[in-house]
């Protein structure tokens, strides 16, 4: 039965994608990244699917995500790494749920050591992304020594993050990799057991030299291509399908318009289908007059402005036979046609990550395994 906007997420596709990435990782542990509500796919069900697929670690960006993930999983054992900066107020939230945290300043390391509170720490080198972490390998070494010397702290990881892993052929990736190796390998030699990690999805698929002890794929576990190409080329299965339905049908005579600002004016008699999804659901306003969807296995053009709650499509094509209640596929396959998140992103000059992550809480999420129920469906 049609609901106004539905994201159906195939958890078995996530499981297979993780298993495929684990094979590629060839012995390195897999840390599945489930931040931002699992890139819009649902954090806890995606995490469970990733664990079934062979991930042994999970990662999130924030302390609140770590807390919600731990509570949702009901599992105290699985390792959860928090990538992001943590304020003094947020640090205890992460530590309360036994999450591993990232540290890159001596001041933070010393404060944690002085508190006597148990914590597992991953020291972050900024090898070139220019965001979080210290750029200074000497400072990173000093953080390592404070952590390693503190009774309550465990030196769990030494890590970095790439700026251009998704731009194949660029030289900067190799420079970052060399900078990271030069710092991290001696750290591991001095502190056996510390895990080195650097690779996001693109690096994992691009260069085995980036794998080290642990890889951190995010986008690819959802079957999205980190290079913005067709996921099938890399044996990734898109897990998310976004559907809505034909809620109203009307004939626009020549000169009639559809939507705010009259950005579409019919040149001739046109059958217009109103589909109840809009930017309030994360279906981006930039798709006005450029988006597409599938109806009866054929592409239909989005006409006019995307409003908060509705969009309009031209369904006048010969033989289409649009009827009230018909399913409309915005991301996914219908018949022989397919619209990927990569296609949607390309139309509005953004990346697939943003398309699925933008889907708001108003879009119902339904979890399944290849069309059937799963043990954790609906969670
Ligand atoms: C989000 C994130 C990842 C995952 O990146 P993908 O490109 O989605 O694979 C890995 N590492 C860090 C530090 C991240 O913030």
Give per-residue pLDDT as tens, 277-289: 999 999 999 999 9
Q: By alpha-carbon position, which residue is closest to atom 1 of ligand 1?
A: 218
User: Residue 194, class by beta-carbon neighbours within 10 Å (0-12 exposed, 13-18 middle, 19+ buried)?
Assistant: buried
From the list 138, 136, 154, 161, the residue with the least C-alpha distance to 191 is 154
Q: How far is the CA of 216 from the centre of ligand 1 (A)?
A: 6
Q: What is the end-to-end Cα distance of the chain in Å, rounded?
A: 20
Q: How far is the CA of 239 from the centre of ligand 1 (A)?
A: 18
Residue 266 CA: distances (Å) to CA of 30, 273, 316: 53, 13, 11
Q: How far is the CA of 114 from the centre of ligand 1 (A)?
A: 31
Q: How far is the CA of 33 from the centre of ligand 1 (A)?
A: 7
From the list 244, 358, 365, the residue with the least C-alpha distance to 293 is 244
pLDDT of residue 200: 98
For residue 275, pLDDT beyond 70: yes
Residues of the chain with pLDDT > 70, as a percent, come to: 98
Alpha carbon dihedral 161, 231, 227, 291, in 10-degree steps, equals: -120
Q: Is the CB of 203 under 6 A from ligand 1?
A: no
Residue that the structure tokens 């900067």 belong to: 172
For residue 304, pLDDT beyond 70: yes
Q: By alpha-carbon position, which residue is closest to atom 10 of ligand 1?
A: 200
Residues of the chain with pLDDT > 90, as a percent, come to: 96
pLDDT of residue 3: 87
How does pLDDT run across 109-118, given as a tens digit for each residue? Answer: 999 999 999 9
Phi/psi of residue 117, each to 5°? Answer: -80, 135
Q: Is the CB of 79 under 6 A from ligand 1?
A: no
Tokens, residue 115: 């508190």
**Which residues make beta-bridge pairs with 147?**
none
pLDDT of residue 345: 98
The mean pLDDT value for 7-18 works out to 98
Q: How far is the CA of 40 from the centre of ligand 1 (A)?
A: 14
The enclosing H or E element of 341 equals helix 341-347
How confident is residue 365, by pLDDT bands cut at 50, 70 and 90?
very high
What does the alpha-carbon distance between residue 25 and residue 20 come to, in Å, rounded to a whole number? Answer: 9
User: Residue 130, class by beta-carbon neighbours within 10 Å (0-12 exposed, 13-18 middle, 19+ buried)?
Assistant: exposed
The mean pLDDT value for 4-15 works out to 98
How confident is residue 61, by pLDDT bands cut at 50, 70 and 90?
very high
For residue 376, pLDDT beyond 80: no
How confident is residue 378, by pLDDT bands cut at 50, 70 and 90?
very low
Q: By alpha-carbon position, which residue is closest to atom 6 of ligand 1?
A: 218
The mean pLDDT value for 75-80 works out to 94
What does the alpha-carbon distance between residue 202 and residue 220 come to, in Å, rounded to a whole number? Answer: 8
- Residues marked as catalytic: 35, 260
User: Which ligand 1 atom sits nearest the alpha carbon of residue 166?
Assistant: 7
Max CA distance (Å), the chain = 78
Q: Is the CB of 226 under 6 A from ligand 1?
A: yes
What is the DSSP code (8-state) at residue 287?
Answer: G
Q: Is the CB of 20 under 6 A from ligand 1?
A: no
How confident is residue 168, by pLDDT bands cut at 50, 70 and 90?
confident
Cβ partners under 8 Å of residue 321, min gap 6: 296
Cβ partners under 8 Å of residue 111, min gap 6: none
Q: Is the CB of 288 under 6 A from ligand 1?
A: no
Q: Is the CB of 296 under 6 A from ligand 1?
A: no
Q: Is the CB of 195 under 6 A from ligand 1?
A: no
User: Which ligand 1 atom sits nearest the alpha carbon of residue 204?
Assistant: 9
Q: How far is the CA of 47 from the centre of ligand 1 (A)?
A: 15
User: Which ligand 1 atom sits nearest the alpha carbon of residue 165?
Assistant: 7
Q: Are 314 and 266 in contact (CB under 8 A)?
A: no
Q: Is the CB of 33 under 6 A from ligand 1?
A: yes
How does pLDDT run across 217-258, given as a tens digit for each residue? Answer: 999 999 999 999 999 999 999 999 999 999 999 999 999 999
Q: How far is the CA of 5 from the centre of ligand 1 (A)?
A: 28
What does the alpha-carbon distance between residue 195 and residue 190 come to, in Å, rounded to a whole number? Answer: 12
Q: By alpha-carbon position, which residue is closest to atom 15 of ligand 1?
A: 83
Residue that the structure tokens 């390391």 belong to: 109
pLDDT of residue 2: 73
Q: Which domains does the chain carry?
A: 11-223 (3.20.20.10), 240-368 (2.40.37.10)
DSSP 3-state of 31 = strand
For residue 329, pLDDT beyond 80: yes
Q: Is the CB of 206 under 6 A from ligand 1?
A: no
Q: Share the mean pLDDT of the chain.
A: 96
Residue 186 CA: distances (Å) to CA of 194, 265, 267: 11, 66, 69
For residue 158, pLDDT beyond 90: yes
Exposure string of 112-121, with b = 16+ CB inside 10 Å and e = fewer, is bbeeeeebbb
pLDDT of residue 1: 57
How confident is residue 169, by pLDDT bands cut at 50, 70 and 90?
confident
DSSP 3-state of 213 = coil
């Amino acid at each position: 039965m049609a609901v106004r906007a539905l994201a159906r997420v195939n958890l078995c596709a996530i499981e297979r994608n993780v298993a495929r990435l684990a094979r590629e990782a060839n012995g390195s542990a897999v840390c599945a990244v489930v931040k931002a509500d699992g890139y819009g796919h649902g954090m806890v069900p995606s995490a469970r699917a990733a664990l079934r697929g062979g991930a042994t670690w999970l990662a999130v960006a924030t302390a609140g995500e770590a807390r919600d993930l731990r509570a949702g999983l009901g599992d105290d054992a699985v390792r959860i790494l928090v990538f992001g900066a943590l304020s003094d107020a947020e640090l205890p939230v992460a530590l309360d749920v036994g999450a591993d945290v990232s540290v890159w300043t001596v001041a933070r390391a010393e404060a944690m050591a002085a508190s006597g509170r148990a914590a597992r720490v991953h020291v972050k080198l900024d090898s070139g992304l220019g965001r979080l972490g210290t750029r200074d390998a000497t400072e990173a070494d000093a953080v390592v020594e404070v952590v390693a010397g503190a009774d309550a702290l465990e030196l769990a990881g030494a890590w970095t993050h790439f700026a251009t892993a998704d731009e194949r052929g660029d030289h900067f990736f190799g420079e970052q990799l060399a900078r990271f190796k030069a710092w991290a390998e001696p750290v591991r030699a001095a502190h056996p057991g510390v895990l080195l990690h650097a690779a996001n999805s693109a690096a994992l698929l691009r260069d085995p030299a980036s794998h080290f002890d642990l890889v951190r794929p995010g986008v690819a576990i959802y079957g999205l291509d980190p290079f913005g190409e067709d996921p099938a080329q890399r044996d990734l299965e898109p897990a998310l399908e976004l559907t809505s339905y034909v809620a109203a049908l009307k004939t626009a005579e020549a000169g009639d318009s559809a939507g705010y600002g009259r950005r579409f004016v019919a040149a001739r008699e046109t059958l217009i289908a109103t589909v109840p999804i809009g930017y309030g659901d994360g279906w981006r306003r930039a798709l006005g007059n450029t988006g597409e969807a599938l109806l009866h296995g054929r592409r239909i053009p989005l006409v006019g402005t995307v409003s908060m709650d509705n969009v309009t499509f031209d369904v006048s094509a010969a033989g289409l036979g649009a009827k009230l209640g018909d399913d409309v596929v915005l991301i996914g396959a219908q018949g022989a046609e397919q619209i990927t998140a990569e296609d949607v992103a390309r139309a509005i000059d953004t990346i697939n990550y943003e398309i699925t992550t933008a889907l708001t809480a108003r879009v119902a999420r339904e979890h399944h395994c290849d069309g059937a129920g799963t043990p954790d469906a609906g969670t």
